[in-house]
Copies of this chain bind each other. A is one copy, B any other.
């Protein structure tokens, strides 16, 4: 077991109707609120109006239009400018993980005199941030319970992760009913995203029995509840269980004491959505099984056997490579059961830029230090197998 430090100070307020207490929460931080949100889905479900009503005694500055794979320009830059101009006290992020990731970058940039991009790339250190409160409307990224975010810069195809002890949300409100209207496509993508978060903590060295058991349990529960939510969008129990499962999946509690896997599927997927702006969870679903097949060898075999037996109930008396192979097939079958396209060509990505992306990943993601080390040629082979 490796040494580690773990701390997640965020307060989770979960369940039906919980946002009624939003004003009391925000008030602790001040009266000037930057209200960030996305493309308008919160208007369709009535949440925009609800929030405005709850904030009637606050000074509210709005930053709408934050896109999936949130963009440095214009969203982060605009948010930082608004915070400085209006001396914002607290950011209220309403939407999915993209809005919240963007809000974390804004919160950091608002307390910094230089270029916010330097905070995102790590060239400068985040030493302060505005407090962030969020209402999550999409079960997927777990951004509501971690301190990280990912920001894209279109002109350079960069998609860069950042984080700091100052960018944990103070309070995350999670009402599963606000996820009833999430489309089947996004429900499937969210399930795949969170599943991969768990896998990135499971396929690594020095795991503990407890971590392995928690990851396996989380994967099994997520597959059941993700599928139920996909089939019946207003199944409260399924939406709720899926939501909290996603919340815990990216925060590191499942890998305390493990060696880091290097998060290889995320490293590769960041190029896909950086270059092509595809849905992150769909990109992960396509990459994951091809990465699995690529790294399956005598060093990794036991992990795959454990995964196959404990997550999919595969007969443990079979040949070990047979178990591993069936486990990878079962992974694909599950994603297919959610109608996720399982080939890059189906989401508009052809072979033309695979080499360029493989090079980009090699330079930017450091996957030669991953659980199963990946060089440029490995990454290209995984991308090619994903076509």
Question: Which residues from B are CB-within-8-Å of A16?
Answer: 3
This protein's copies in its complex: 2
Q: Are A14 and B10 in contact (CB under 8 A)?
A: no
Determine the distance from Cα of A220 to Cα of B212 in the docked complex, in whole angstroms.
11
A124 interface hit (Cβ, 8 Å): no
Number of A positions contacting B (CB below 8 A):
43
Segment with Cβ contacts to B, from A148-156, A181-189, A240-248, A362-370: A240-248
Given contacts A209-B225, A213-B221, A214-B217, contact A257 B7 (CB under 8 A): no
A15 interface hit (Cβ, 8 Å): yes
Q: Map CB proximity to B onto A93-123 as digits: 1 under 8 Å, 0 otherwise.
A: 0000000000000000000000000000000
Determine the distance from Cα of A305 to Cα of B209 in the docked complex, in whole angstroms.
23
Question: Which residues from B are CB-within-8-Å of A218?
Answer: 210, 213-214
Which residues 18-32 in A have Cβ within 8 Å of B in the complex?
A: 18
Determine the distance from Cα of A256 to Cα of B243 in the docked complex, in whole angstroms.
12
Q: Are B209 and A224 in contact (CB under 8 A)?
A: yes
A5 interface hit (Cβ, 8 Å): yes
Q: Are B9 and A4 in contact (CB under 8 A)?
A: no
Question: Hey, which bits of chain A sit against chain B, CB under 8 A?
Answer: 1-18, 176, 208-210, 212-214, 216-218, 220-222, 224-225, 236-237, 240-241, 244-245, 248, 253, 256-257
